[in-house]
Amino acid sequence: EKGGYDHFMLKEIYEQPSVIKDTYRGRLLANQGLIKMAGIEDNLERFLNAERILIVACGTSWHAGLVAEYIIEEFARIPVEVEYASEFRYRNPIINKNDVLIAISQSGETADTLAAIKLAKERGAFVFGVCNVVGSSISRETHAGAYTHAGPEIGVASTKAFTTQITVITMIALRLAKAKGTLSNSDYHRYLQELELIPEKVQDALLTNDAAEAIGKVFQKSSNCLYLGRGYNFPVALEGALKLKEISYIHAEGYPAAEMKHGPIALIDEHMPVIVIAPKQGHYDKVVSNIQEIKSRSGKIIAVVTKGDVQVRELADYVIEVPDTSDALSPLITTIPLQLLSYHIAVLRGCNVDQPRNLAKSVTVE
């Protein structure tokens, strides 16, 4: 049942090229310049009239929500707010009739997310679900939605659910951008084509497995780890850190790279591994300066870079090369080596990768 892999988590990491394709199949029609998602088409006016979009989720799904904030605001120019469902539901939030609330949940059973949906419905908002489990409570409780087609995710640590959530969100952002005319025609078509190429590029990014294992061997005894990224790769840094802590029990924190000098830089010494997500697109030069700041304090730098990178290679202790893609789609690629790194470190430490201590696959109590 693990398909020849040692763990479900590894199997699920390797399934990503095919499940991302399953998720956009029939919906992304790049040659025709179309995105077709029934849940969006049927409710297009609600989305176009939305004064803002609220996103609620927990854990990894919340990280996908952060990526959604960046991409929906950039492409469709609709204000987006992302909240932990548990905070949102208990703070008497302002919810207007014109708001669209998007709930993101792999299991579709997360208690706090479900409660946030009920609250938003009571206050008249339109609620859209992005779930993986067909017929789950959240998929039933929402007005409309779009399923991810990740297939069953058995490993407690979420991997393929995350990348398929981002795939759905990217299609939503593109569809809304097309309706609103907020992306130029050429950019719109370029993104459709780029998205279609993502499964191949994820396949290519999986070739970082050996590098991730080798780097894992060096850092398996670490007790702390810092993950840094900017822009679209800030949520990826958070997700990288969450993956590491939940399965290897190494304390890890994700930060926007520029926030480092506002606190966490104090932690940096020769014992601190710092994983920096530094693809060529995006805020590359800014990230390079952050890397220099870490280096001058003797931090150990592990950088995720675009193939062919020279500048970061000179500064970093270890580099992991991934294929190039546009900034907005990069989380789908840069996440892959971070999943693999966490996996190998956890295995090397003898941890129960698929069922980490104290964690449940679906959190049905608050």
Residues lying near ligand F6R in the complex (CB under 6 A) are found at 58-61, 105-107, 110, 113, 157-158, 242, 246, 362-363
What are 27-36's contacts with CB under 8 Å, separation 24+? 27/171, 28/171, 28/192, 28/195, 28/196, 30/189, 30/192, 30/193, 30/195, 30/196, 33/188, 33/189, 33/192, 35/171, 35/174, 35/175, 35/178, 35/192
Nearer to ligand F6R, 61 or 170 (CB): 61
Residue whose CB is less far from ligand F6R, 58 or 287: 58
The answer to whether 69 touches 80, Cβ cutoff 8 Å, is yes
Spatial separation of the C-alpha atoms in residues 74 and 327, rounded to whole Å: 11
Whether 2 is catalytic: no
Residue 184 Cβ vs ligand F6R, minimum distance, rounded to whole Å: 34
Residues 249-274: b if buried by 16+ CB within 10 A, e if exposed: bbebbbbbbeebeeeebeebeeebbb
CB of 301: closest distance to ligand F6R in angstroms?
A: 25
CB of 131 to ligand F6R, least distance (A): 8
Nearest to ligand F6R of 95, 116 (CB atom) = 116
Name which of 207 and 359 has its Cβ closer to ligand F6R.
359
Pairing of strands 126-131, 100-105: parallel
The nearer residue to ligand F6R, 169 or 287, going by C-beta atoms, is: 169
Work out how close the CB of 110 gets to ligand F6R at its nearest, in angstroms, rounded to a whole number.
3
Closest CB to ligand F6R among 246 and 327? 246
CA 142 to chain CA centroid, Å, is 22
Helix/strand/coil (H/E/C) assignment for every residue in 313-350: HHHCCEEEEECCCCHHHCHHHHHHHHHHHHHHHHHHCC
Given the residues 121, 245, 286, 361, the one annotated as active site: 361
Give the residue at shortest CB distance from ligand F6R: 59
Please report, for residues 52, 68, 96, 169, the alpha-carbon distance to residue 55 in angstroms, rounded to integers and kept in the order given. Answer: 10, 8, 14, 11
Q: How far is the CB of 360 from ligand F6R (least distance, A)?
A: 8
Beta-carbon contacts of 243 under 8 Å, excluding residues fewer than 6 positions away, are: 157, 159, 338, 339, 342
Positions marked active-site: 361
